[in-house]
Structure 1
Amino acid sequence: MPKSKKTTTVMMACAYFVGAEVLFRMTKGSIAYEASKYLVILFVLLGMFFRGVSNKGYPYFTYLILLVPSIIIASFDLKIDSNFRTNLAFVLSGPVCLGLSALFFLDKKVKHKDIINALASLSMPIVTTMVYLLVYSPSLKDSIKSTASNYTSSGGFGPNQVSTILGLGIFAFTVRLFIKSPSLFLKIFNTIFLSLIAYRAIITFSRGGVVAAAITILAFLAIFYFRSIPRIRSQVAVSVVVFVFAMCIAWVVSSIATVGMIDKRYTNRDSLGREKQDLTTGRADLILNELDGFLENPFLGIGASNTKYNREGRAIVTHNELTRLLSEHGILGIFILLILIFAPLTYRSSNRKNVFFYAFLAFWFATINHSAMRIAAPAFFYALALLDIQYEKRPLHRKRLISKR
């Protein structure tokens, strides 16, 4: 098997299980809660065995090493009612998945069409998730009583995770609408699925996934438009009109289905129309609490997984990966953040071919700020930003010169 084919195979396998992760969790169809992250880790380790890693990967080796001290600190401060192995797996499986994925995908050459196929592989289980939600919760008017995140409309599972994965589906089908819809039939086909997934994402009442999708799509379209030739730009403009129309339809249907509650949710009002004082729905207090943990233990932090036990005696899982890194890793968390931010930008300075670079990084950054690293998607997309994408050159057709005698 060619080397590039091995990379593509790993990427396709990872993409499928990243897309299916939330579906497996909500239907209890997985052998373990973190199974998709473990599978991504397994696939990239197999890829490293057969393909090796880039000699540019030393920042991510350093990143993985910097995660170790927090494990040692956590072992010194075990809580009586805590499961050390389970807590570590929940907190560190995401960061480890990111580090190993970045190590493997860094500077690997893949074709542009392979990225499109990977997004298609990822979107198929997301379509299944959307269908499951349509079947599981067909009626909303009787279940929606407030503007809070709604478990009924998200299949009885965490609205935050469902919103995030559906937001990723919105992005995947937006890419297909702009790049893989040459015919009218495909435009209609992709627009229908785009609208349905957007509708289900909106009515979870969890804004994070929808906002992350919007940021990711804007980053993609900005680069895609300015990198396109003039003839393609006119086609992009048509697709933008179709996209905006699809989103308007999704919003109007969502508003009708929720009896106007979704409009109040996104304008930060309660069910009675009163404006809420806290736009962050209590997460600002959690962030400040985590920053307090950093100030109290600035050198090595409070230890991996201990943030959830540092909430005035309550066990609450963090929503923000940035402040969790600072609280649990101390000053090492600052070095980790510097690596995660500047390593891809440094790589980008010498390789500007990846048209999805800023979109993938935007999804990673937006997601870890509202859902931490609960699912494997932000880790996987961060790694995809590090690929060396090869574009196929169009063959040149030269006219044969016929000499006149």
Structure 2
Amino acid sequence: MTGLLAFVESPVQLLNVLEWAHAQSAAADPSGPGLPGVPGRPGSALPHHATAPPPCAPPGAGSLGPAGAPSVVPTRSAPAERTPTPGGAEVPAAALTIVVLSPNDPMSRGQLRRMAQLARDDGFSVRWQEARDGRGSLPRTLRDLAPLLRAAERVIVGDPFSRYVQLLLTLFAPKHLTVVDDGTATMEYAAQLARGERLVRWHRRGSGGPRELVLAPVSAAARRKLAPTRRRTVEIFTSLPVDPPPGTVVTANTFAWTRARFGPPRLTRGADLVGTSLVETGVVDPDRYARAVADLAGDHGATRYFAHRRESTEKLHRIAVETGLEIVRPDLPLELIARRGPIGRTVVSFPSTVVHTLPLALAGTGVKVAVCEIAPEWLRENASPRAQGFLAGVAGTAAFEVDRLTTSSSQRLEFG
């Protein structure tokens, strides 16, 4: 049986691996209604009420109350799916092994555990690998994963910029490689691959210091392993607008699995704001960001702020105090939270992947998505020189039905 192996380090990566598997099954049986292998099944929705989490679930989605303890929404199990091998033959879903290279961030770990359970509910084998738990974790991880890597015909990765993934691909180069979305990084990966450049995250400035110099040989080798050759195919599975680098195949991610599994959502009358970690990554000034959030909330009557999993508690507390917004820390990727509902009739986001993914996940629901562009004066002095152009590109290439928001010199935000 052909080996299918996926490495994920974030909840969105795992979601998009499930979307890839669903798309493969749909391609193998395009006439089948509902979910592949489950004739006539309309897809289940998560219940809207909150309840106690299952034993494996971390603190999850919900409003941050006085004690800071959010509520959690349970998931329903779903029957197993089937996914085809690279050759097109349909095999049990267990043929795809998903390895979670667990991060240290508690919010990311929590969302990953919930996504891992959804994958297991669909019949996939999920292996939780503590890849960053101190000295010795790297050699132990390499030793544990070596047999899987040697047997894998196709490897699916969500973050080609990950040093862990780069090292694994350098040691074990697969015959077939699929890159799924991990945010807007896919756009930069495709562009750098096409230009033959080394792989560097768009928000990083300069060489990155001694650590980057030490890891430069790994990065250079990985760049070759992440490129197509006569012996290796490379597929980019994405919901983002990318130009296919020479020799690659770009497959559209339409979020069909998400739409089949969840919703349609109940809509609220107000608007919801989607947060970003641009402050935490050192790109945007925190004071400018806080003022922009307050203006957006006032202009659109927003009542809730969906926090990015990497946003700091201090920043979120400031936003809650200064704006009165209800802070929501989702326990699943926002595409699933929005599809489950309830969700505002208007969703406003700063430049991020969700301005591309939410219109797909919420297709046919009547929800309007808007993107607020980042003004140049919002950027920190030490932000990467590429930051403004990249963020403008993310906003400018959003789906046609996404409204653009611009800023004036008075910092008021209006429809452009």
Larger Rg: 1
Where relative contact order (Cα < 8 A, 6+ residues apart) is larger, the structure is 1
TM-score where L is the length of structure 1: 0.29
TM-score where L is the length of structure 2: 0.28
> Which is richer in strand?
2
> Which is richer in helix?
1
